[in-house]
Structure formats: structure tokens, C-alpha cells
Amino acid sequence: MSVTGLHRSVLPTDVAVAGNARHISAMASPEIDALTKALARLPGLGPRSARRAVLHLIKKRETALVPLVAALQAVERGLLTCSVCGNVDTRDPCGVCTDSHRDAALLCVVEDVADLWALDRARLFPGRFHVLGGRLSALDGVGPEDLAIEALLERVAGGGIAEVVLAMNATLEGQTTMHYVAERLSGSNAGGNVRVTQLAHGLPVGGELDYLDEGTLALALRARRLVE
């Protein structure tokens, strides 16, 4: 993409934020202004909801602002990427990896931490996870070496895993990644004693796991099948 094209594509948001910032700075201190702008950049929030959130935090200083600051600081100070599975937690290995109630023989491979959290929301998957850290994408220049595929092969080669569930998104790139990982697993697993399964069809095409309700996710997991 050309520099000009890039500028053109981000311009409308810039204008909206800048316009809004001017509006805020006329009545708020620089600190409140900075907080509002930081919140407005969060996914799912825009300038209007950011202003509402800031007003709420100011009004409910003791019950909303103080606990939020403490929670943010605790996460910021302790934020770690799990060296085993790639999950984000304040412990390494993470809470999922160290949970002894989980079936260590079941391993679910997901694209992103968001997918892990989606599947783990209601304990839908009783095993452990492996986060690839993205999906193969020629368009975005993401190749196999950019994903935690070697780490996955090493984990499986380490033994003790009976089934690997490939829980990629039902997008073209997700499915390309799924087949690539399945091939690498079968190539490295000469003994063939590890089942490689995929989520059942019925996931909406183009569907991202993070956006699915728990019922749909549970069905897709329960009816998983061998990767062909």
C-alpha cells in the first residue's frame, strides 16, 4: 500500500478524534482529556462512550476509579506471556497450564489469546491450550515462522498428548492455517498415536470464535472430527 493510500484510509478516524479532542479540551483539564482520549482508542469504545466512562469514574471516585486504577496497575506490573502455551496472564506458566483439573492429554490449538479466552469462558474445553499468535496470511506477510508452530511440534513430541484439537476460525486464513498445522503435525508424528481433530462444521463461514455464543462453541467442540 502506498503512503498516500495509508494516509487516506486512516484520515476519517483522525479527523473525528481530533475534532472530538478539541471539543473536550475546551472544557476538561489536560489529564482528563488524556484519559478520555486513551479510553476512546479502546476497541468497542468511541469518543462518546469514553466521555461517559470518564464522567462515571469521576463521579464514583471511590467505588469505580480507585479499584480500576489498582486493577490496571496490578495487570500492568505483572503482565506475562506464558512460556508454555502463549496465554497472557500474570503468572508463568499461566493459570490454565498449572490447573491440575485439566486433562493434560487434550491440547487445543487456537490462533489468538482471544480464542483461548472464548473457549475457556465457561470451561468449554477440559484440556490445555496452545496459542499460535496469529494465522497464516500472505496479505499481511505472516508465514509459518511467525507463528508458534515449532513450539507446538515440540510440545506434542514431548509426549503425553493423545489429541490435538485445531480450533481455528472458520475464515479462509484460519482454515489455511489449520491444514498447514495438521500437515506439520502428521509429518512430525510418524507413530500416528496423536489424534488431530478440527471443530465441527456448522460454525458460520467467516466466523471468529471470539464472537460465537457458548452454545455454538460447545456444539462445535463436541462434534469435532478428524482432520482429513
| Rounded distance between C-alpha atoms, residue 3 and residue 44, angstroms | 27
The distance in angstroms from the start CA to the end CA of the chain is 37
Please tell me whether residue 84 binds Zn ion under the rule CB under 5 A. Answer: yes
As given in the structure block, the three cell numbers for residue 56 are 462515571
Quote the least distance from Cβ 92 to Zn ion, whole Å. Answer: 8
According to DSSP, residue 126 is labeled -
Q: To the nearest whole angstrom, how small is the minimum distance from the Cβ of residue 136 to Zn ion? A: 23
Tell me whether residue 21 or residue 84 sits nearer to Zn ion (CB atom): 84
CA 39 → CA 12, 74, 89, 97, 213, distances in Å? 18, 18, 22, 32, 26
Answer for which of 87, 169, 177, 198 binds Zn ion (CB under 5 A) is: 87
Rounded CA separation 183/152 (Å): 13
Nearer to Zn ion (CB atom), residue 151 or residue 219: 151
Q: Which residues in the 88-147 window bind Zn ion by CB under 5 A?
A: 93-94, 97
State the minimum distance, in angstroms, from the CB of residue 107 to Zn ion.
Answer: 11
Type of residue found at 22: R
Give the three-state DSSP class for 120. Answer: helix
Among 53, 82, 149, 203, binds Zn ion (CB under 5 A): 82
Q: Least separation, in Å, of the C-beta of 96 and Zn ion?
A: 5
Rank residues 84 and 124 by Cβ distance to Zn ion and give the closer one: 84
Q: Cell for 83?
A: 512460556
Number of residues that bind Zn ion (CB under 5 A): 7
Instruction: Provide the binding-site residues for Zn ion, judged by CB under 5 A.
Output: 82, 84-85, 87, 93-94, 97
